[in-house]
A and B are shown apart, each in its own frame.
Chain A
């Protein structure tokens, strides 16, 4: 029997995202589903929970969620609740909601009232990165640990959490290595392959994810049949894309996706957790301050340019290091946190001389085709 590994394995996991979690559950492992990139995976891992990222489904029409959520809410979180209401996440032993944004907050509360996961925790995340906010967040992380301990049947010691930090930092380092391979032209990994790998490692235990990442790196390093050279080398900025129908559409139009700043991509993996003496210090700083998502407000600086540089200089570095010549800003309809940030980030990119395409999309595969003309025209405008 041949063992499926590397990119093929990633595709297999991507296609059936809950399969591995359910297999492990049958073997007695506990599974914790979490929203967004803010709940620390290390706490779940240290207590023997397998973390799985909760996602929506672009292929599934919204039929249940709108009874519970207003339609002015972002289409992604409405979809998350919709598929959850239809039973997709019924097998979870723990649900970790989060006040990442107001959509996630509302879904967390509705989930707790109607979906009855055996353990249900709501992570209260402050919207600033002040010292007091980090202190508050650290306390919340402690509550998360205590809540998970009740159902885990064991206590997480500092040593156990530190061990999990090392494991997850290894994963982050492997993800960065994989993205490194896209600095060359053409890139070694297509945007669709990268998305499959990112989703796959969010749906299997970290140890298995690390093996998968090592396999993928090995496989693509020596590949001849990678992505073709294209005129556009683009960065995707935005909340998230969780379906390759979207990345394929972009890539069909003559654009290679070489790097991203999205929540199912670099944003979840780019920065390590510092190995502090009290592991909760490292976790609180990394997750609240070091993850850069527009959901967290940062102090403004003296001038607008200083302010933009303070918040987005990491993007300038990505643009330079990955030799990017165009930016696609992906906004899921009614995502206010990313929507409000468009003009600032767009100006920042445009000042670097980059063409920018902004699309507010409906988070539905049936609504994708009309976007083709925009991506095609955008690709034609990159020269």
Chain B
């Protein structure tokens, strides 16, 4: 049987097509402002890559901020549950998931493959991928390079502010004082790691810790976070897709529960089309 998990995040949309225990296709692309019209396009692309047709998919689960805009999804599940399931599938001994997304940051406590507790910041860009984006823009560097550059520092600059806007001002101040870019970046990553650590610390960080989301791709952030935690973290081969992967795993589970008759009905009713909004009717 074939399952699809689609995770429409605030910044990046991810799709996983899974057949039994094998991942058939992965799609990762920017979400963009028009994401409400994106879901059916992105799934078409994923189907193409996986070499399956829409009708062959047995169950589709949507997650992420945009989950309500996937009209052909058979179920919607919160990204917290999906991340936890995806990570648990990859790392059965996981106890703590730290997910650093584009515009939020989550900590999930896992006990025996179930959510024990979770914490989430989505009110403020501090502690999220957005912080790193703003910083790289301010310094005129590429987002993917700043973690690496920060590792070259031997003397991280003191950055006292974790508010994205004020941190930006502080960078300019440090630059004017002649502090090197490596040291500034090291200071920023350290400050960000401190912010994430104190938030996730509220649910007690325990081994194994798995880091996911775009933040997991930043080597500087991971280094400073590990320093604060006191031991190393595990990183999935592709840290962006754990939510979509978890959604596809939940899809598999839901199929088993649904039964054949209900499933046939679901498949018959399901249509691959864009979201329609009644205020746009012509």
Contacts and interface: CB of A to CB of B under 8 A. Distances in A.
Contacts of B114: 381, 383
Nearest to B118: A377
A376 interface: yes
Contacts of B120: 373-374
B81 A380 contact: yes
11 contacts: A355-B117, A370-B122, A373-B122, A374-B118, A376-B77, A377-B78, A377-B80, A380-B80, A380-B115, A381-B81, A381-B116
Contact of B81 (A355, A356, A370, A377): A377
B102 to A, nearest CB: 14
Contact of B78 (A355, A356, A380, A383): A380
B42 to A, nearest CB: 21
A355 B116 CA distance: 7
Given A355-B117, A373-B79, A380-B115, 6 more contacts: A370-B123, A373-B78, A373-B120, A374-B120, A377-B81, A377-B115
On chain B, which size bracket covers the interface? Answer: 10 to 19
Given A373-B79, A373-B80, A376-B78, A381 B122 contact: no
A120 B118 CA distance: 46
A377 B115 CA distance: 9
B256 to A, nearest CB: 16
Determine the main DSSP class of B at the interface with A: mixed
A356 to B, nearest CB: 8
A370 B80 CA distance: 13
A356 B81 CA distance: 16
B79 A381 contact: no
Interface in A362-383: 370, 373-374, 376-377, 380-381, 383
Contacts of A376: 77-78
Contacts of B77: 376, 380
Contacts of B78: 373, 376-377, 380
Contacts of B80: 373-374, 377, 380
B250 to A, nearest CB: 9
A65 B122 CA distance: 26
Nearest to A346: B117
Contacts of A374: 80, 118, 120
Report the 5 A-B pairs with minimum CB-CB distance, sorted nearest first: A377-B80, A381-B115, A377-B78, A376-B78, A380-B81
Interface in B84-136: 114-118, 120, 122-123
A376 B250 CA distance: 15
A374 B107 CA distance: 12
A67 B61 CA distance: 48
Interface in A329-383: 355-356, 370, 373-374, 376-377, 380-381, 383
Nearest to B64: A373
Contacts of B65: 373
B9 to A, nearest CB: 12
Nearest to B123: A370
Interface string A92-111: 00000000000000000000
A85 to B, nearest CB: 27
A381 B118 CA distance: 10
Contacts of A383: 114
Nearest to B250: A380
A374 B80 CA distance: 8
A381 B112 CA distance: 12
A377 B65 CA distance: 13
Contacts of B81: 377, 380-381
A68 B115 CA distance: 43
A255 to B, nearest CB: 13
A356 B120 CA distance: 14
B62 to A, nearest CB: 12
Contacts of B79: 373, 377
B269 to A, nearest CB: 22
Contacts of A381: 81, 114-116, 118
Contacts of A380: 77-78, 80-81, 115
Nearest to A356: B117
Contacts of A355: 116-117
Nearest to B68: A372
A356 B109 CA distance: 13
Interface in B25-45: none
A89 to B, nearest CB: 31
A355 B115 CA distance: 9
B243 to A, nearest CB: 12
Contacts of B118: 374, 377, 381
A37 to B, nearest CB: 30
Nearest to B81: A380
